[in-house]
A and B are shown apart, each in its own frame.
Chain A
Amino acid sequence: EIVLTQSPGTLSLSPGERATLSCRASQSVSSSYLAWYQQKPGQAPRLLIYGASSRATGIPDRFSGSGSGTDFTLTISRLEPEDFAVYYCQQYGSSSWTFGQGTKVEIK
């Protein structure tokens, strides 16, 4: 099973700042099968990025994804108040899906 490790665990930033979130896989992941989700308290997760770098429908362009192999990144170019949330990466491989443990982006 592929293990995804996200870092940092918590990111303390101010609105307007840039956020860079990391997702590292224990073995190579197809870029086609790497996704990112946002979850706010009391809500279901929301798909942000699929295929490592494609934004889902309705996702603002301040969200971008990049990476390949074992290292992937989610970047939020300028944090808006509504972006403070928990972010998860997810991969698919060998008929199995796994999620990272999450990165919390909190207001500094």
Chain B
Amino acid sequence: EVQLVQSGAEVKKPGESLKISCKGSGYSFTSYWIGWVRQMPGKGLEWMGIIYPGDSDTRYSPSFQGQVTISADKSISTAYLQWSSLKASDTAMYYCARQDDYVWGSYRAFDYWGQGTLVTVSS
């Protein structure tokens, strides 16, 4: 069974750093892209970036480039999203999601999702 299990909720102060995780299981972690999606309170979904754990090739949304860092450790089947200096506006739910892939290619849809990590930034 494919699963993406994310790390638990975090409460941080502005200016602090943070790294949240997403552990994949039940499939070949190095063969599928993992994306990160932000959902601010009461709002819609925003694509942040995506990484291919096989070679750590990473793409960022222009809106999030330079604001966050996406990485992966394929030895433990885990992807990460990190901030060096949090702001109150980073308060949101963050989801990781696997991009689909078939023998014939990918439809660039996210077929499996983690349960989400709630990040609260408040002084």
Contacts and interface: CB of A to CB of B under 8 A. Distances in A.
Contacts of A77: none
A39 B111 CA distance: 13
Contacts of B97: 44-45
Contact of B61 (A45, A96, A100): A96
A26 interface: no
B107 A44 contact: no
Contact of A33 (B59, B95, B108, B114): B108
A99 B107 contact: no
A2 B49 CA distance: 16
A99 B109 contact: no
Interface in A73-101: 88, 90, 92, 95-101
Interface size class of A (residues with CB under 8 A): 20 to 34
A48 to B, nearest CB: 10
Interface stretch (B7-15, B39-47, B71-79): B39-47
A88 B47 contact: no
B59 A95 contact: yes
A47 interface: yes
A96 B47 contact: yes
Contacts of B109: 35, 47, 50-51, 56, 90
A40 interface: no
A37 B109 CA distance: 9
Given A33-B108, A50-B100, A56-B111, A44 B47 contact: no
Nearest to A36: B109
> Quick one: which of A46, A54, A96 has the most chain B CB within 10 A?
A96
A100 B107 contact: no
A95 B59 CA distance: 7
A33 B107 contact: yes
A51 B44 CA distance: 21
A97 B50 contact: yes
